């Protein structure tokens, strides 16, 4: 670095520190530690490797060693979960102005961590039903193993089911950190508050949004770009059901948008691509936009119009 | 960890191991090793660095050292490809119930690996035509180098071309693992089975889906959110052409959806944004939705309606 | 590796090196080093950690140590910025055929680096207004901390503001490398050339595209899949305003597309989901597609039509 840097950098440092002291709002300098992004991601990855064992080829699980491998993983998972949940509970205590009793948050965190681990066998059963839904629902799927190895929808749903268990136990921050990690990885944004039953399959994944108070039945299938969303985003609606109910065996094709807390898509319905729905439809409906709703002209008869539209 | 952990974790471990033994379906505990995700990603990255040499600034390729650098990379690539292809071939042998002859899969894998490496010069020629299509097709592109350094569409197409070569050689699992890695990175989901000719450009990338049996001609340009998809997803259609044919010099703007194995978009056509097409259009067509198909009202004349729509 | 590899790999290496020498166009073998992707990402991450201090739980910033922590970070940032900017300026000098005067690019790079660091306090003020817009704009947001920890829109906007400062100082390559890194992470593609005022909130993120010459006012809110784009992509328009102007306090719901350099969305307007706009609308407009523009039939009355649409 040249001579001009050092004098200026001293001033820069001072102005940054001043900004931390004066500005407030986005500082966590002396407050409690927040949950660690890296820690939360590590937890999700351990859950995944316990739910889908042997799918990381780095590890070869031999029969006679399996109890050691599992034992090491579950103990690490309890420890890591306890640390991060504890941070998030302490954060809540302090941000609500309550006094933190030493050890209380940690004890509560450990309890929640153990509860979550006890759910792993049932999470595996649910994952198997999600795999089955994907395999039977997609003609391009060559095998169930290919689904587990390469379908982003499967990863997103498995992680959602973990995050949801933390959400319903009122753990702050971590469930949304988990769902956002999955969102970055897969393009699927499922709020951990959503209630989603078995056999849920999302194909192609990118751009799917499922809102916080959505209720989704068994064997529902979504394609890319589907939104299950709210009609209004007024802050005072935070505690209301703002998102639709999708009943059993509904298929929703690419780009469809279904909005509103009172909207119910009746069981067995098929929602066509790009359809925009803000009210209920009865069971066994087929909903679709008017076909061929476009114009076709010859390009050269049209002059330059062929160069229009973009970005 | 507190005293309560150890007694409960023993039971948890047992229930997880029981679940592995009883549940089946998503286990690969004692079966053959599947291809490694990490290994597959490393292979893609080496291909990329051989196709676009010098674009990772960490390495400075000097003229006199280049043969050593290339030699080290290609040898590593042969070895890694052989390992992963071999795993995928062995997986197939066993899952089809055939008996595995020692060394056969490995020998076949090595042959395919060498074939792929021999394609690198022609993959580079194709990549150059893809770069050219991107540079001339986007007024925001400042240089061809900027395209290589920062256009996700270019990365997705280069990786698709590698995955496609494995797909047509009947290598299981790996092609889809590659396409899914790229999908996560770029938001572009091109099935490795698609047939895509030279000069293919995808701008803005996010949400593009190109199905397994699509056929795409020369100099085709897609924008974000375009789907080249199937009209029906019945599992028995797995071996049929389910996805459209897009002829040479077609441009498809953002959010358009083109569906069906018999749908042909004639050469030189322009498909407007958000258009939904399920039947063929002749060459040199301009296809667009009716313009201004919306209503405009004054917000305050409308009461609260301004707060509607979401999520 | 078996015996067949070595003879063939020698030929492969030769053909690759020949291709580098003959093909041109995508080589940077003996030319100047381009900016490093890894370096550019590290710079963005350091900016983020200075703008949102304490949100990486790995580091606990104590009051008495803070000046050392900040001092180490800012010095590293100056050094890394200087290296990468210097590379990009040298690249430009050579690719324009000008002669490189030793040290000139480095000196200029250092100057720009220091300018950027001096902006950090004001970038923090702007980030706080972006956080506030997200928190008040989303009923699902439980706290401002949750917004910072888990909202991809916030990360994308903070990084855009850094990239934009490099863009307006005519630094080549790096701004687009930054925006593309964020695009990969969040699904949000904001060109660094766009001009975006305070309080900008993007919810759910995936698929948002904001073009190079867009102008966006204060307190604008976008949802997933919104495109602020160009009507034409002719290369000769590179220096023209090709993208819309969005005035203050406009909300644009999911999937809406607004195109054209002369298109102005008047202040306080609400643009409904999926609306497609290519001309201006006055202030305080509510713009929406005709409601219920679809058909509903009973699935079984329809024969097999329920199995249509996909991909």
| pLDDT tens digits, one per residue of C75-103 | 999 999 999 999 999 989 988 888 878 78
Q: Which residues does B259 contact at the CB level (< 8 Å), separation at least 6?
A: A273, B227, B229, B230, B231, B243, B244, B276, B277, B278, C309, C310, C311
Q: Which of B26, B273, B287 is the closest to A296 by Cβ?
A: B287
Taking contacts as CB-CB distances below 8 angstroms, the residues of chain A near C229 are 310-311
* Structure confidence at residue B294 (pLDDT): 73
User: A308 to chain B: nearest residue by CA?
Assistant: B272
The nearest CA of chain C is from the CA of A61 a distance in Å of 26
B203, A311: Cβ pair inside 8 Å? yes
Give me the mean pLDDT over the B219-244 stretch: 89
The nearest CA of chain B is from the CA of A204 a distance in Å of 7
Q: Walk me through the domains of chain B, giving residue ranges and CATH numbers.
A: 33-190 (1.10.3130.10), 194-311 (2.160.10.10)
Question: Do residues B144 and B132 touch, judged by C-beta distance below 8 A?
Answer: yes
What are the structure tokens assigned to B44, written together?
Answer: 């893609």
Per-residue DSSP letter, A281: B
For residue range B20-29, what is the model confidence (pLDDT) as tens digits? 887 765 556 5
Per-residue DSSP letter, B81: H
Q: Which of B45, B54, B144, B232 is best to mutate for the C interface (most C CBs within 10 A)?
A: B54
For residue range A275-286, what is the model confidence (pLDDT) as tens digits? 889 999 999 999
- CA A162 from chain center: how many Å? 10
Q: Would you say the C-alpha torsion A227, A230, A231, A235 has a positive or negative sign?
A: negative
Strand partners, B257: B227, B276
Would the pLDDT of A68 be above 50?
yes
Q: Which residue has the tokens 């056929």?
A: B215
The nearest CA of chain B is from the CA of C287 a distance in Å of 4
Q: Would you say the C-alpha torsion B138, B139, B143, B147 has a positive or negative sign?
A: negative
Is B75 in CB contact (< 8 Å) with chain C? yes
The nearest CA of chain A is from the CA of C15 a distance in Å of 33
Cα radius of gyration rounded to whole Å, chain B: 24
User: B77 to chain C: nearest residue by CA?
Assistant: C9
Question: Do residues B158 and B192 touch, judged by C-beta distance below 8 A?
Answer: no
Would the pLDDT of B276 be above 60?
yes
> Distance between CA atoms of A12 and C174, rounded to whole angstroms?
23
* Structure confidence at residue C213 (pLDDT): 97
Q: Which chains touch A (3 or more CB pairs under 8 A)?
A: B, C
Is A310 in CB contact (< 8 Å) with chain C? yes
B193, A230: Cβ pair inside 8 Å? no
Question: Do residues C156 and C186 touch, judged by C-beta distance below 8 A?
Answer: yes
What is each CA distance from A235 to A229, B207, C274, in whole angstroms?
15, 30, 23
The nearest CA of chain C is from the CA of B303 a distance in Å of 11
Taking contacts as CB-CB distances below 8 angstroms, the residues of chain C near A87 are 57
Percentage above 70 pLDDT, chain A: 89
The nearest CA of chain B is from the CA of C289 a distance in Å of 4
Question: Do residues C224 and A209 touch, judged by C-beta distance below 8 A?
Answer: yes
The nearest CA of chain B is from the CA of C266 a distance in Å of 11
B124, C26: Cβ pair inside 8 Å? yes
Question: Do residues C287 and C305 touch, judged by C-beta distance below 8 A?
Answer: no
Q: Give me the tens of pLDDT residue by residue for chain C, a chain 311 residues long.
A: 788 888 898 899 999 888 888 776 555 555 667 898 899 999 999 999 899 887 765 555 666 677 888 899 999 999 999 999 999 999 899 888 888 787 899 999 999 999 999 999 999 999 999 999 999 988 889 889 899 999 999 999 999 999 999 999 999 999 999 999 999 999 999 999 999 999 999 999 999 999 999 999 999 999 999 999 998 777 777 788 999 999 999 999 999 999 999 999 999 999 998 888 999 999 999 998 876 567 788 877 655 444 444 43
Is B172 in CB contact (< 8 Å) with chain A? yes
C232 exposure class (CB count in 10 Å sphere: 0-12, 13-18, 19+):
middle
The nearest CA of chain C is from the CA of B18 a distance in Å of 36
Is C193 in CB contact (< 8 Å) with chain A? no
Sheet holding A201-203, edge to edge: A201-203, A221-223, A251-252, A270-271, A285-289, C294-298
* Structure confidence at residue C307 (pLDDT): 46
Is A254 in CB contact (< 8 Å) with chain B? yes
> Distance between CA atoms of A260 and B14, rounded to whole angstroms?
44
B124, C229: Cβ pair inside 8 Å? no
Question: HSE on the CB side for B111, CA within 13 Å?
Answer: 10
For residue range B258-272, what is the model confidence (pLDDT) as tens digits? 999 999 999 999 999
Question: Do residues A189 and A183 touch, judged by C-beta distance below 8 A?
Answer: yes
Is C249 in CB contact (< 8 Å) with chain B? no
Taking contacts as CB-CB distances below 8 angstroms, the residues of chain A near C204 are 189, 209
Taking contacts as CB-CB distances below 8 angstroms, the residues of chain C near B254 are 209, 227, 229, 257
Sheet holding A195-196, edge to edge: A195-196, A215-216, A245-246, A264-265
* Structure confidence at residue C33 (pLDDT): 76
* Structure confidence at residue B69 (pLDDT): 84
Closest CA to B44 of B165, B145, B149: B165
User: What is the pLDDT confidence band of residue B299, given thresholds at 50, 70 and 90?
Assistant: confident
Helices and strands per DSSP (H, E), number in chain A: 8, 15
For residue range A71-91, what is the model confidence (pLDDT) as tens digits? 999 999 999 999 999 999 998
Would the pLDDT of B85 be above 60?
yes
Is A74 in CB contact (< 8 Å) with chain B? yes
Taking contacts as CB-CB distances below 8 angstroms, the residues of chain B near A110 are 1-2, 4-5
Taking contacts as CB-CB distances below 8 angstroms, the residues of chain C near A30 are 61-63
Q: Which of B54, B79, B233 is the closest to C27 by Cβ?
A: B54
Is B41 in CB contact (< 8 Å) with chain A? no
DSSP C147-211: HHHH-HHHHHHHHHHHHHHHHHTT--SHHHHHHHHHHHHHS-EE-TT-EE-SS-EEES-TT-EE-
Give me the mean pLDDT over the B13-36 stretch: 76
* Structure confidence at residue C166 (pLDDT): 98
């Amino acid at each position: 670095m040249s001579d001009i840097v050092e004098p200026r950098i001293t001033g820069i440092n001072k102005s940054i520190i001043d900004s931390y002291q004066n500005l407030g709002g986005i500082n966590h300098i002396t407050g409690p530690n927040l949950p660690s992004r890296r820690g939360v991601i590590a937890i999700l990855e351990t859950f995944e490797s316990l739910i889908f064992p042997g799918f990381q080829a780095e590890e070869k699980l031999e029969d006679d060693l399996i109890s050691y491998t599992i034992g090491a993983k579950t103990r690490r998972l309890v420890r890591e979960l306890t640390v991060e949940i504890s941070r998030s509970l302490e954060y809540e205590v302090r941000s609500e102005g309550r006094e933190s009793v030493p050890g209380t948050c940690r004890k509560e965190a450990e309890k929640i961590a153990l509860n979550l681990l006890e759910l792993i066998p049932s999470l595996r059963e649910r994952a198997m039903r999600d795999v089955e839904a994907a395999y039977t629902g997609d003609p391009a799927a060559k095998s169930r193993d290919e689904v587990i190895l390469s379908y982003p929808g499967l990863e997103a749903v498995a992680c959602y089911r973990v995050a949801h268990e933390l959400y319903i136990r009122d753990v702050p921050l971590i469930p949304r950190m988990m769902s956002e990690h999955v969102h970055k990885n897969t393009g699927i944004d499922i709020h951990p508050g959503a209630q989603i039953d078995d056999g849920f399959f999302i194909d192609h994944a990118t751009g799917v949004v499922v809102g916080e108070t959505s209720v989704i039945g068994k064997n529902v299938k979504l394609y890319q770009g589907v939104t299950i969303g709210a009609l209004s985003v007024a802050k005072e609606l935070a505690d209301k059901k703002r998102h639709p109910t999708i009943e059993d065996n509904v298929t929703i094709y690419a780009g469809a948008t279904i909005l509103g807390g009172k909207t119910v898509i009746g069981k067995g319905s098929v929602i066509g691509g790009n359809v925009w729905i803000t009210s209920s439809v009865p069971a066994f409906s087929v909903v679709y936009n008017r076909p061929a709703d476009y114009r076709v002209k010859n390009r050269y008869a049209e002059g330059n119009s062929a160069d229009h539209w973009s970005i």
